[in-house]
Chain A
Amino acid sequence: MGICIQGSTLKEIVAERERLFAETGCAYGLKKLELVEKDPAKFMRFQMRLVASCINSRESAKLISANPMSMVQGELLFMLANAEGDVISASYGLAGHIQCMPFIIKNIAELDFEDNPGIEKGDIFSCNDPMYGPPHNADCYTWMPVFYEGELVSWTVGLNHIVDVGGIQPGGLGVVSPNIFTDGFTYPPTKTGANFKQHKWWELHWKRRTRTEMFNVLDDKMRAAGITSLHDRILEIIDEFGVDYYRQGMKEIIERERRILVERIKSQAVPGKYRYLQLSAVNYKGTLGKLWPNSNRNWLIHKTGELNIRPDGTLLTDLEGLTSEGEFHANAYEPAVRMLTSLGMWPMFAYTETINSSLLYMTDWNIPPGSMFNPQNPYAGTVMGLGVIAGYIFLFHNCLSQAFFSRGFLEETFPADGTAGGYGAAGTLEDGFQWAGGDMSLITCQSQAGNPFHDGFDSSVCSPNPASDIGETEVVEFLLPTQVHLGKKLIPDYCGHGKFRGGLGIGTLQMVNKPGRSLILNAFAATDSMGACAMGRNGGYPGANDIVVFVNDTNIREIIEKESDYPRDFVEIREWMEEGKLTAGDVQIYKGPTPSIPCRDGDLFAIAAGSKGGWGDALERKYELIENDIELDWITRETSKTVYGVIVNDEGKVDKDASDQLRKEMFEKRLERSMDAKDWWKQERDKVLEKGWHEDVKNMYADCLKYNKFKNEFFGMWQLPDDYRIPGYKEE
């Protein structure tokens, strides 16, 4: 006798959910939405009541937390799922997590939790183990069954991103971890409480297995309090609407929203295959030494993807060709992939007031076993697989932009790339006081790429969080006392150029002020020296790399004392140094993660990010737009001439005749530079046959050739002999 409707088991209803969808293509086999059709207004009221309950639970529970990521940055979500595990409604917050919950419920069903440890009224369950649904162990899920008249009708769920997971690196976003044992505190689904309270032993785990015990214990209390209050509110709603309406209504919500999403794709996109590729690096060589020999290497990650927009409005994303699983931190499981990539779907077609797991019913994935997002080694490290998955967010921005553009929905295009820069600081002040901190300003706000009818707006969007916010310099300096900002500004020319150019990237320049005994800065830059994908830009340039510059042993203190003046960004540093005004003992430039750099008083540190791509051929940009760019100093005269073919006179006006002539010459030069595709192909084929690539590139290709699809296309493209092979890592 099961705990679900009419004595069925959890396993049975989850299987039934899958069977009905497989057989009918509709969620729960609902060809007809009876409640919606009979009384749409009542139905809408029902749905809004569920959403409001989730929001209210979040707003009251979050006060308990002291974790800034929950309180301010929105990494906190409360959800209502039906008995089968579909999320029906959710609070504000990091909405992507909606995608994970159905996997968690399916897993506990298959683990026979119903039988042992049992699922009863007031029980509390917890999990952060990515193998069972959560995206990575920093995202902790807590959930509770809702029983009505003895039958399971729902789950209330709370999750948030905790401050520290107890891994080999502090924090929750480690970038070195060869396996699950170094990931930190990872717990599979566990019954951690009963009678609406967490067990006392559970608190001890937080205290002994993580570094920030206080934050983590309070977060756990917050999640438990939120799901309990949501539990009570849901019972009130069931009383009001009746349990039959409640059960049926939840299913109809999913099916109705599935239809809305499918309709958006059908009405806006041209169906077909859209290809996408990004690369990124994982560099472990020399980091872990002999202890983990299989991790003492570098990887070039091949992030390929193919978005299939089917004529029926559903999507299939095929990841065949993705780098294999490895003994690194960046593996992940399907729920994590679905969770994070949904951030690319919300703005493109899934924006609605009432988000739920209907996306699962119109998006399919092919993630080959053995690839890094479908690891077969049960001990694969997953602490920061999200870092690599993040690139796939933009598969949806870019491929769908192309698909919408092709159909004429220009305003819906939203090409984007993962550009972001951040840094951490740690030091010991003059009096021996130790401190540490970090700054995410250039992660949480970026400029928009150019689109088919206007330039990208500056500092207007943010990929990971729809509510962009660059924060306040005065707050950053308060928390990082050694960092004095000499500038926080848009950088001229720092964009992808085009008929409509991308928004300008934003950069800060800081002077190190009284670091005391020691100060170490380490930064990362999301573009990782790899260049942007540049899909869907129709001839526009991709955005420029994120950039980090350290200038040590400078004479800036003397300049300040004598002239009361300073440079404002990394471009001006270069100019000042060329002029001989600024001198430096050492200059280091990075376009990706930096090592930890020791800094002294008067050192300069510049970081810039968020330069976005352009749309259309730069040589077609209107002269008025160039004049405006020159007037506002967004584009320099030099760039106007060399990139746009436009001559601007001293009054800031375009010399039309000279520019027409210059553009003509530039077009002709392009023709001169171009070569016959056949010749180009031959030239490139020789390189493939020679295999003279960098070691990391060679290893990457060798790995990808394991996949038949990639192999067929690669062999087909380059007409390779059957015995062609690339030796893999350590095979030579």
Chain B
Amino acid sequence: MSEKSDEKKYIVAQDAGGSMTDCFLVDTDGNFSTGKFITHTEAEKISYMGALNDAAAKWGMDSKQIHKQALSCTYTGTSMINILVTQGGSDVGLMITKGFAHTPIIERGLTWIGQTYEDILHQQLHEHTPWLVHPHNIKEVAERISVGSYYMQHHSMPGTVIIPMNEKDVVKGVNELLDNGVEIIGCMTLGSFANTVHENRIAEIAKEVIAGRGLEIPVVTSNEMCSVPNETERLKTLLIQCYIQETARKALVTVENAAKEEGYERDLMTLLGYGAAATVHYPKLAEAVASGPTGGLLGGKFLSEFLDLPNIVCWDLGCTTCDVGLIAGGLLPVNKSPEFAGHKVRMPMIAIDCLGAGCSHVVHADPVSGRITIGPESVRADLGTMYKSDEITIGDIDMTLGYVNPDYYLGGTIKVNPQRAKSELTKRVAEPLGQDVYDISLKILDLLHDKVINHINGIMLSKGLNPAEFTLLVYGAAGPLHLWGIDRAINFKEVIVVPWAAVFSSFGVAAADYFHRYDKAVTFFLTPDMTDDVKMMQGQVLSQTWAELEERGYRELESEGFSHDEITFRYGISCRYIGQLSNWEVPVEVGQVESIDDLDKIIGAFEENYTNIYPSGARFPESGYQITEIYLEAAADKPKPVISSYPLQGKEPAKDAHKGQRKAFMDGEWMMFDVFEQDLLEPGNRIDGPAIIEHTQTTFMIPSQNYVEMDKYKFMRYRRKE
């Protein structure tokens, strides 16, 4: 590929996982290249450069050439989770309402987050996460503000000051924190989502004290992070922000500097948990902490719009993860109190259901009870007995059954040992259970597939959704390898495998929009007997709150270099029927209520979304509506990848695409599979099973009952033979 001048034409997106860093490189014409590199958690710029060079090399270029002509570089890394896991964050100081100093230690008692049912029952082993703030560095301030009441006007309104703040406590506490040498101070008061006066005043005094002592120490309030109820979740969000912000930013800025040294001219961007891109200088960096798995869903959302498929099940099977996300009616579902690494926080995150299943998951067989289990532990990049691990994994089974080509593992860059995989499987699984090694291997795959099937069914059925109305989008390094086992049990409308399956998450990173999101709790009830005046009075509060958020959006995006005109807004609400326990988030068209009609439209949007998800029998409109929170997304334009269309060729693949044949064990017998090279297939080609489509990063198994057609975008449509 030729290039000249410094015309900006490349988009670089990287997704650094626990074992591999994936790179997706695309130009403005829609040509793309992909790269991979082992993740270097201690020096992420090495893996960033490695993955980019790997992708660029396929075009005969290097990272320098790409950087000079890059429109944007987006990098979502593991650094933040690592800071939490390795406890390498800042020394945090906390100013909190008197009587609540132990809130970060009590941690709401949630010692079991992310565990299996078996482990949850086994309570004696439950432990808290390590402290994000040392009890020494927690100082109390006497004050109390009312959170408001379920009985609304019958008692205190939200935000009423019940106990005025004791400013002496603040001055004393902040000085003590500074004496202790804290590197950042967080402020949190009960009820601050309803009235920020005390919390902001604490911050103000803290800043004065800090300045008075000639220091430069950041001060963060909980209401800046999330202005919504639930003090434990709000505090956890604040503490994570304080704990990781400086360290994480340093790591990201190192990557940014590396890119800039090679001629990249803009800010490096990263991905936030709710699916937005933001520069690495964005203040609320904690929102990026769990953005890892969101890339794939953003890719799914992009394809949902591009291919006009409103209902998609996104399924990612990798070495260590199996993530399932739903796009229903074109919407990405958002979880507002997500859990990760043992923490429960209050920041919006794209809802993804993770299952402990992947190719590096360990297979256990107990000869006494005959129980076979998969996981929960994974050997990650050590892959299995075929490579660096002594544990038998799903990957060993894939190898033993002939699905994966040992000479073409990651394009032949990794040397694996299929003989060892087979002999370990025989010795430690098949023989103790008195089974044939191939039979038992295939059945263990059935177990894995069933686990995934039950998981997908569970997610869909619990929301009342029918798989027959959904397209299954398959990606992840092992998605195409195991699709056959899933497709047999669930009837999807259609199944699509993306050609760059192994790096699809980084494609999604490239496809992310640039925006910031702000959430705010509101008090809003709409009952059938309410007069229009009362309704409008409440509507005005919504308008006013949105206007405040807009102001903040302008302020922050302008400080990031966008002009006033470039900034656009999207609005949304969290709503439920009065009396319900859950609420549902839905976008609305306008962020201003000027008439009853506007209100009806807002409620109508909720009703429409609700009936999309649940059967109409689940509606309760007679009880009225409650809006619990509103949100605003402030967005600016950002370059995005283009997907090219190609002319369709004949059904018959080109001769050189057919690499030969090999045997694999499926449906209880050894069968001969035709082997194809994916990069040499053309749009319009049809591959009939039994066949294997190989790629340097993935293997696609097609059983005899199925075939694949490559469409004009090179997406592979997986179908059943008539």
User: Which residues from chain A sit less than 8 Å from chain B, CB to CB?
Assistant: 33, 36-37, 39-45, 48-49, 52, 55-56, 59-60, 63-64, 66, 68, 71-72, 92, 95, 256, 259-260, 263, 346-347, 350-353, 355, 411-414, 429, 431, 433, 435, 444-445, 448, 451, 457-462, 466-475, 477-479, 481-482, 484-490, 506, 509, 513-514, 516, 560, 563-566, 568-569, 631-633
Contact = CB atoms under 8 A, between A and B. Distances in A.
A481 B109 contact: no
B443 A458 contact: no
Given A40-B435, A41-B444, A457-B126, A484 B144 contact: yes
Given A466-B112, A484-B162, A48 B454 contact: yes
A731 to B, nearest CB: 45
Given A435-B151, A486-B144, A460 B127 contact: yes
B118 interface: yes
Nearest to A506: B106
A206 B579 CA distance: 20
A353 B233 contact: no
B621 interface: no
Interface stretch (B67-75, B368-376, B552-560): B368-376
A444 B450 contact: no
Contacts of A40: 365, 370-372, 433, 435, 440
B163 A72 contact: no
Contacts of A263: 368-369
A564 B140 CA distance: 13
B142 A475 contact: no
Nearest to B120: A466
The 9 tightest CB contacts between A and B, nearest first, are: A487-B99, A41-B443, A445-B109, A59-B462, A481-B149, A52-B454, A414-B124, A351-B121, A481-B155
Nearest to B374: A44
A473 B190 contact: yes
Contacts, number: 245
A48 B618 contact: no
B123 interface: yes
Nearest to A448: B124
A568 B371 CA distance: 52
B30 interface: no
A95 B165 CA distance: 47
Contacts of A468: 109-112, 123, 126
Interface stretch (B224-232, B405-413, B700-708): B224-232
12 contacts: A353-B116, A459-B105, A459-B109, A459-B128, A466-B123, A473-B231, A475-B229, A478-B229, A485-B99, A488-B100, A489-B99, A564-B164
B372 A41 contact: yes
Given A457-B128, A566-B98, A346 B106 contact: no
A651 to B, nearest CB: 15
B306 to A, nearest CB: 32
B218 interface: no
Number of chain B interface residues as a range? 35 or more
Nearest to A456: B124
Contact of B151 (A63, A429, A489, A509): A429
Contacts of B579: 66
A717 B238 CA distance: 62
B231 A478 contact: no
A52 B458 contact: yes
B125 interface: yes
Given A474-B231, A564-B142, 12 more contacts: A41-B446, A48-B451, A56-B461, A435-B154, A466-B112, A468-B112, A472-B230, A474-B230, A478-B148, A489-B99, A490-B106, A564-B166
Given A60-B462, A485-B99, A460 B111 contact: yes
Contact of B118 (A45, A68, A353, A631): A353
Q: Which of B105, B121, B443 has the most CB of A within 10 A?
A: B121
B721 interface: no
Contact of A632 (B121, B135, B148): B135
B41 interface: no
Given A48-B447, A60-B464, A259-B369, A564 B143 contact: yes
A351 B122 contact: yes
A514 B154 CA distance: 11
B181 interface: no
Contacts of B110: 468-469
B105 A63 contact: no
A487 B100 CA distance: 6
A296 B7 CA distance: 94
Contacts of A461: 109, 111, 123-124, 126
Contacts of A481: 149-151, 154-156
A353 B126 contact: no
Contact of B166 (A260, A513, A565): A565
A153 B354 CA distance: 35
B101 interface: yes
A127 to B, nearest CB: 27
Interface of B: 98-103, 105-112, 116-128, 135-136, 142-144, 146-151, 154-156, 162-166, 190-191, 193, 229-233, 365, 368-373, 433-435, 440, 443-444, 446-447, 450-451, 454, 457-458, 461-462, 464, 579-582, 614, 618
A347 B166 contact: no
B131 to A, nearest CB: 11
Contacts of B464: 60, 63
Contacts of A33: 370
Contacts of A60: 461-462, 464
A132 B396 CA distance: 52
B154 A490 contact: no
A564 B142 CA distance: 6
Contacts of A506: 106
A66 B618 CA distance: 11
A568 B155 CA distance: 24
Contact of A429 (B106, B155, B451): B155
B150 A568 contact: no
Contact of B121 (A68, A451, A466): A466
B447 to A, nearest CB: 5
A636 to B, nearest CB: 15
A37 B367 CA distance: 9
A304 to B, nearest CB: 25
Contact of A514 (B124, B155, B457): B155
Contacts of A475: 229-230
Contact of B369 (A256, A431, A472): A256
Contacts of B103: 488
A657 B647 CA distance: 90
Contacts of A482: 155
Contacts of A467: 112, 120
Contact of B122 (A37, A347, A472, A474): A347
Given A43-B370, A48-B447, A490-B102, A471 B108 contact: yes
Q: Which of A42, A470, A516, A631 has the most CB of B within 10 A?
A: A470
A448 B451 CA distance: 34
B461 to A, nearest CB: 5
Contacts of A55: 458
B229 A472 contact: yes
Contact of A474 (B124, B126, B191, B370): B191
A49 B150 contact: no
B99 A568 contact: yes
A407 to B, nearest CB: 15
B293 to A, nearest CB: 21
A56 B457 contact: yes
A415 B316 CA distance: 43
B568 to A, nearest CB: 33
A71 B583 CA distance: 13
Nearest to B344: A469
Nearest to B155: A481
Q: Which of A351, A435, A514 has the most CB of B within 10 A?
A: A351
A40 B369 CA distance: 9
A387 to B, nearest CB: 21
A95 B229 CA distance: 31
B121 A71 contact: no
B120 A458 contact: no
